[in-house]
Structure 1
Amino acid sequence: MGAERFGRGRRRPLRAGLVLACSGVLLAGCASMPDSGDVRGVQATQGPDSQVRVFPMPPSADASPVEIVQGFLEALTSDDPQFEVARKYLTAEASKDWNPDSSTVVLADGPTTEVDRGGDEGGGDRTYTLTGQKVARVDAQHAYQPVGGRYREAVHLTKVDGPDGQEWRIDLPPDGVVLGDSDFQRIYEPVDKYYFADSSSDGDGQRELVADPVYVRGQIDPLTQTVKSLLAGPTNWLEPVVRSRFPSRTQLKKGTKSLSPDDQNKLKVPLNRKADHVGRAQCMEMAAQLLFTIDDLTPSGVDEVELQRADGSQLCVLSQAQAETIAPHRTVGRPEYQYFLDEKHRLVRMGGIGSGSGSGTASELEPVPGPLGNDDQTLRSAAVSRDEERAAGVSLDGRSLFVAPLTSGGSLGDPVVTSRAKSESDRLSTPSWDGRGDLWVADRDPKDPRLLLLEKGAGEPIEVGTHDLDGGRIEAVRVAADGVRVALLVKEDGKTSLRIGRIERQDGSGERPEVSVVRPRLAAPQMEVTAMSWAGGSRLVVVGRESGGVQQIRYVKCDGLTPSGGVLPGLNGVKEIAASENDQLPLVANSDDGIVRLPVGAAWQTVVEDGTAPVYPG
């Protein structure tokens, strides 16, 4: 339920301004520390669970201008909680004005320092320019967004009076923090905050929880940082389609410095007066948001949370088991089957994954009950509803979309959508079911490209607004379980990219709603993506290649971050891929080796040599 973890990239060798130390809470797991000798830089490769912390060194009295600049940049990559050492490289006035929480600029290889040759070498001021290739920007809400272009910002130094004479200090620092991508992925930890889908997005009377990915400094009390971020509300991109049950301006009680669970794994969270008068039902929903958000942030987890009023009295208590009843979380369910099309182009299913380790075998294959599992209608793609009671299938020629129950007996009926495109490759995409029970499909007809929605998989299709795609053609569509985010493969100028859009629903002029995909954002911006699937609350698995590279299978975050440790074992000729939003279930792919799958911690395994279009429910 927490954010899917990404591996940290290999750190470059430590430089003169940084010192490594083992975390005090796990000192027994670290190498013994010598009690004599000099502090020396070391080379280390840090994994995602590393307890090594990096501390900066303050400036020396005789530091040169370039050493001041480099020392300041090194301090930005350290685990100094309030950047107190980084501020020692600034003048008093600059330290007062500099706000490291305003934004973080992530560069491909870290900033390069260039001296301004036009400055006075012998004078009392000096200017340097920081340059680099921008990868992303993290805003004050801790939200990540890929950006491109060159980074170029001036850093100005001046001489100030110090205890031993004049010293160089920075009086014009860069805005916020600037660092390299490898340092960002080492320092920052991904966290999924959870909010409820807006009431206008309700489909079955049960609001879904929606993951809102943010990044907190992993060694600086991530639990407290995350709770504060949750209380502050959803990020700007997601805010129009979700709601927090915490009253507006709810914060931690003044004076609360740090949160930690007790020895019974119970977390007490004191709130300010804004939450004093909420009812029990609302309080339980607040606590459910909190429990799902902090699920992975402590070594042993949090089993129970207690929300408290400003006077310390109890608002409500909620356990993990109770949270599942208050906010059923579809991403943690276990589907009964995996599905794909066999050599006869029938929809078949494979059991053995719903209750155990996901170790179903080819001997457990069977055609699905109902008309999509017999020979009456051959298929090129299919999708199974999340409750596994219905399936949608696209005919082998790509022209017709059918919906049928997964029960024995009955006839197929008429198609619910028909494409008029002349070429088979320009017709209907693989369909997708959202968590509301609605069915989505793209018609790729060059003369009339459309994204279509069928409420509950039936009725007249609703044409979904896609104006923000600027004319790009949708090649594939996958809707997240929450029903408010959609992953699209969009072809534009001969290149196919992965974009994540926000689904907005509004009351229309009649009984039918108006539905639009709004503000689609690039994910995996460096890749040409050919196949994808949701693989968790804020993560997808994609197949594609970078410019000039070979085909890769890798995880990406829906906000566009490409984790350095997200590359999966290689596989030849992958055409399609499917993942469950429960990350304990195996990936399934259609490759040159047939239908194969990748169980957690194992290698790719062949299920059958002949088969296509693997899917999980959704």
Structure 2
Amino acid sequence: MARTKPVLAAVAALAAAALTVSGCVSMPTAGPVQSYPVTQAAEAQNQLYVQIQPQPPRADWNPQQIVQGFLTASASFGSYSDIAKEYLTPEERAVWNPFWSAIVYKSGPNVKDPVYTSPKGKAKETATVQVTGKVQAYLTGKGGSYSVPSASAPDQAAIPQTSFSLVKLNNQWRIKDAPQELLLTSDSFQNDYQPTKLYFFDPAGKILVPDPVYVPLQAGGPRLLITGLVNDLISPPKDWLSGGATKTAFPAGTKIRRVTIDGPTAIINLGGTIAKTSKSSLTEVMQQVSSQLLWTLLSATQSGQAVQSVAVEVDGKPWTPPKAQGNPVQQLQVSPTYNPANGPSLPVFYAIDKAGYLTRRASTHDRPVPLVHIGTNFDQIAVSPSGKYIAALRNSVLYTAPTGDPLVKRGSGYLAISWDNSDQLWASTQTQIFMLRGAANPRQPFGQPVPVTIRDPYELQTGPPYTELRVAPDGVRVALISGGLALRFGAIDMQEEGQRAGQVSITITLSQVKDVPASGFFAPSGLTWYGSDSVITLTDAAGPAVTEYPVSGASATPIPADTDLQSITASYNHPLIASLPHGQLVELVGAKLNGAWMPIHDGGYAPAYPG
């Protein structure tokens, strides 16, 4: 299927999730800094990688030419670090190491004319060269974070000028003080970084949550790349997911003793505090750690070499999972105790029939089973993941009930609804998002609404009304549509507070991804999660358009759209289902969301997979 560039908002930041050794950064989100065709896993062996081969400094180059040559060489630092360091004085050569920290420029970097700083009347022996430009993103290489102004804002400011200090050595100019970041063009970033994912746990320690990041293609080889990824699992990046929404299973103070690659198997020898884990909790900790390692390392590929299995050692002693019959080598197909949440395992979905009955179907090929008469003209229904509760919207009025019971009116002014994986209902109004907590009474699907604080550290100038809201299958992330115009992703941080049991404060921290549909407005009931890594949207301006948007901010993928689509629902590895006018339902038949829309017998409207 053809890929299309998303019309992305400006990048407010690349909240960095950087590897100490190899460099790992959060996803770029706008303009020319986008994902590029790097094939994952075994298919990566066919990848074509094009890189400029830099040249060493020439004896007759002036300070401006030296800085320009250094920028070209350092842009390929992973492969040509020796050439880049030829531009430095011996003293600077010994200390300069950017660890893949970088400034990515939307325009630039522009090398200015040198300013000679030698005393008046003396020979030109020292100089300063400034580098300027409009910044696309700032990537930190040591696990920090940094934000820059929106790249599309009319008052976009350049980052403060970056300076190089130069001195003449043996009648040739050399850099004696260089910035501790790589200064990259957007094209250089595309050539030098590839997308991958780190996996962390939800607060309950039961579900793995992917954190999209980028790693350098030429990071010193697979062993150093793996070392860097494991370092980030031990000390999580300071990004949108790290404020309480996710956590790592690695005990604080865990150390990497050694990383070995034996064919397709990565052997990770750990030490430090993990070796002091009590016997009573050792199995659970090691299962969690192993699951994080397995999912993270299998998603990372470099130069065609793919990790297919993982073995974990503690102070040199192999750890064998329970029921592994003494084999410490773990594979994704059989080993992990913990996995990402992709949504319902069964193709069960719900809809309302023409007579106003809520119906349940075992699949798109099964007949609808009437559950209860709820009426007609509903804009949206949502069924909790357990199937115990239903919520519905009609003319902005919210109704709820245990599934199979008559609906009860709960309030008005609501725009969108979604259940999380704990059967808690989330809803948005014109000005606020609420979470409606489950009550002790099983006949009550929720208690008092809890207002949710929205935090946008990247200041991408989106806000209420949130016309669409969908909580991810992991219960940790949420997709929002702001004003019908912009798609945002957020991380849910829920903290107990107060002296009474059950009192909570809830914050959604938005990521740096902001997608704007090329086809116009997002449609009502036009947002749905598709697995753990992407959402599918429906826009209704100038005819329906269906699009898959990755959480990473990478390029969007168009999906074939039937005419007159009104609402849409998705579940990973199950058919995409949509409603048409006059009570018709259709499903997308074909592999990888690329096929034809076919009618579903008996029809209905407002289809919804649980969630």
Give TM-score, length-normalised by structure 1.
0.72
Partner of 1:179: 184
Tell me if 1:158 matches 2:155: no
Give the alignment's Cα RMSD to 1 decimal. Answer: 4.1
Query: What amino acid maps onto 1:617 in structure 2?
Result: P
The structure whose RCO (Cα within 8 Å, separation 6+) is larger is: 2
Query: What amino acid maps onto 2:268 in structure 1?
Result: V
Of 334-343 and 391-400, the range deviating more from structure 2? 334-343
Tell me if 1:188 matches 2:188: no
Tell me if 1:290 matches 2:293: yes
Cα displacement string for residues 218-238 of structure 1 (whole angstroms, at most 9, x for unaligned residues): 343243332232122353543
How many Å separate the matches in 2 of 1:475 and 1:337?
26
Partner of 1:562: 553
Q: Residue 54 of structure 2 contacts residue 80 of structure 2 at CA under 8 Å; is this kept in 1? A: no
Partner of 1:498: 488
Query: What amino acid maps onto 2:66 in structure 1?
Result: I
Partner of 1:466: 453
Partner of 1:243: 247
Query: What amino acid maps onto 2:54 in structure 1?
Result: M
Where in structure 2 are the equivalents of 1:206-217 lying within 5 Å? 207-217=206-216
Tell me if 1:534 matches 2:529: yes
Q: Residue 569 of structure 2 contacts residue 607 of structure 2 at CA under 8 Å; is this kept in 1? A: yes
Q: Residue 503 of structure 1 contacts residue 516 of structure 1 at CA under 8 Å; is this kept in 2? A: yes
Equivalent of 2:421 in 425, 429, 435: 435
Structure 2 vs 1, CA of residues 404 and 568 (structure 1 numbering), >3 Å: closer, same or farther?
same
How many Å separate the matches in 1 of 2:438 and 2:290?
32
Partner of 2:78: 80
Structure 2 vs 1, CA of residues 539 and 274 (structure 1 numbering), >3 Å: closer, same or farther?
same
Structure 2 vs 1, CA of residues 321 and 84 (structure 1 numbering), >3 Å: closer, same or farther?
same
Of 280-289 and 89-98, the range deviating more from structure 2? 89-98
Partner of 1:141: 143
Q: Residue 341 of structure 2 contacts residue 531 of structure 2 at CA under 8 Å; is this kept in 1? A: no
Q: Residue 211 of structure 1 contacts residue 537 of structure 1 at CA under 8 Å; is this kept in 2? A: yes
Deviation at 1:489, TM superposition (A): 2.5
Q: Residue 381 of structure 2 contacts residue 393 of structure 2 at CA under 8 Å; is this kept in 1? A: no
How many Å separate the matches in 2 of 1:471 and 1:60?
50
Q: Residue 348 of structure 1 contacts residue 366 of structure 1 at CA under 8 Å; is this kept in 2? A: no
How many Å separate the matches in 1 of 2:138 and 2:567?
31
Q: Residue 245 of structure 1 contacts residue 285 of structure 1 at CA under 8 Å; is this kept in 2? A: yes
How many Å separate the matches in 1 of 2:378 and 2:597?
22
Q: Residue 555 of structure 1 contacts residue 567 of structure 1 at CA under 8 Å; is this kept in 2? A: yes
How many Å separate the matches in 2 of 1:51 and 1:7?
20
Deviation at 1:550, TM superposition (A): 11
Deviation at 1:157, TM superposition (A): 4.8
Structure 2 vs 1, CA of residues 598 and 186 (structure 1 numbering), >3 Å: closer, same or farther?
farther
Q: Residue 474 of structure 1 contacts residue 490 of structure 1 at CA under 8 Å; is this kept in 2? A: yes
Deviation at 1:399, TM superposition (A): 0.8
Deviation at 1:145, TM superposition (A): 6.8
Structure 2 vs 1, CA of residues 505 and 251 (structure 1 numbering), >3 Å: closer, same or farther?
same
Partner of 1:414: 408
How many Å separate the matches in 1 of 2:297 and 2:501?
40
Structure 2, unmatched stretches of 5+, are: 7-35, 151-155, 322-327, 457-461
How many Å separate the matches in 1 of 2:147 and 2:574?
29
Q: Residue 523 of structure 1 contacts residue 556 of structure 1 at CA under 8 Å; is this kept in 2? A: no
- What secondary structure, in the 3-state scheme, does the structure 2 residue paired with 1:383 have? strand
Where in structure 2 are the equivalents of 1:62-461 lying within 5 Å? 62=59, 63-78=61-76, 80=78, 83-101=81-99, 103-109=101-107, 111-116=108-113, 123-139=124-140, 140-141=142-143, 147-148=149-150, 149-152=156-159, 153-161=161-169, 165-198=170-203, 202=204, 207-220=206-219, 221=222, 222-239=225-242, 240-253=244-257, 256=258, 258-260=259-261, 262-263=262-263, 265-278=264-277, 279-297=282-300, 304-314=309-319, 317=328, 318-320=330-332, 323-324=335-336, 326-331=337-342, 334-339=345-350, 364=365, 366-371=367-372, 374=373, 376-387=375-386, 389-405=387-403, 410-415=404-409, 417-419=410-412, 427-444=413-430, 449-455=432-438, 458-461=445-448
How many Å separate the matches in 1 of 2:162 and 2:177?
8
Q: Residue 305 of structure 1 contacts residue 319 of structure 1 at CA under 8 Å; is this kept in 2? A: yes
How many Å separate the matches in 2 of 1:315 and 1:82?
40
Q: Residue 532 of structure 1 contacts residue 578 of structure 1 at CA under 8 Å; is this kept in 2? A: yes
Q: How many residues align?
A: 525
Structure 2 vs 1, CA of residues 53 and 522 (structure 1 numbering), >3 Å: closer, same or farther?
closer
Structure 2 vs 1, CA of residues 80 and 413 (structure 1 numbering), >3 Å: closer, same or farther?
closer
Equivalent of 2:609 in 609, 612, 616: 616
Cα displacement string for residues 310-369 of structure 1 (whole angstroms, at most 9, x for unaligned residues): 244547535535644x325422763323555566676556665xxxxxxx5xxx264354
Structure 2 vs 1, CA of residues 350 and 229 (structure 1 numbering), >3 Å: closer, same or farther?
same
How many Å separate the matches in 2 of 1:339 and 1:185?
43
Tell me if 1:489 matches 2:481: yes
Of 115-124 and 502-511, the range deviating more from structure 2? 115-124
Structure 2 vs 1, CA of residues 142 and 320 (structure 1 numbering), >3 Å: closer, same or farther?
farther
Partner of 1:477: 469
Deviation at 1:516, TM superposition (A): 0.9
Query: What amino acid maps onto 2:171 in structure 1?
Result: Q
Query: What amino acid maps onto 1:400 in structure 2?
Result: L
Partner of 1:606: 597
Partner of 1:31: none
Cα displacement string for residues 256-291 of structure 1 (whole angstroms, at most 9, x for unaligned residues): 3x542x35x543211123322322332122112211
Q: Residue 499 of structure 1 contacts residue 523 of structure 1 at CA under 8 Å; is this kept in 2? A: yes
Partner of 1:517: 507
- What secondary structure, in the 3-state scheme, does the structure 1 residue paired with 2:470 have? strand
Q: Residue 79 of structure 1 contacts residue 187 of structure 1 at CA under 8 Å; is this kept in 2? A: no
Q: State the identity %.
A: 21
How many Å separate the matches in 2 of 1:544 and 1:74?
42
Deviation at 1:76, TM superposition (A): 3.6
- What secondary structure, in the 3-state scheme, does the structure 2 residue paired with 1:330 have? coil
Query: What amino acid maps onto 2:178 in structure 1?
Result: P
Structure 1, unmatched stretches of 5+, are: 1-5, 10-44, 353-359, 420-426
How many Å separate the matches in 1 of 2:236 and 2:50?
30
Q: Residue 117 of structure 2 contacts residue 128 of structure 2 at CA under 8 Å; is this kept in 1? A: no
Equivalent of 2:57 in 48, 57, 60: 60
Q: Residue 67 of structure 2 contacts residue 164 of structure 2 at CA under 8 Å; is this kept in 1? A: no
How many Å separate the matches in 2 of 1:101 and 1:471?
36
Q: Residue 529 of structure 1 contacts residue 542 of structure 1 at CA under 8 Å; is this kept in 2? A: no
Deviation at 1:251, TM superposition (A): 2.2
How many Å separate the matches in 1 of 2:149 and 2:84?
26
Partner of 1:25: none
Q: Residue 486 of structure 1 contacts residue 503 of structure 1 at CA under 8 Å; is this kept in 2? A: no
Of 266-275 and 337-346, the range deviating more from structure 2? 337-346
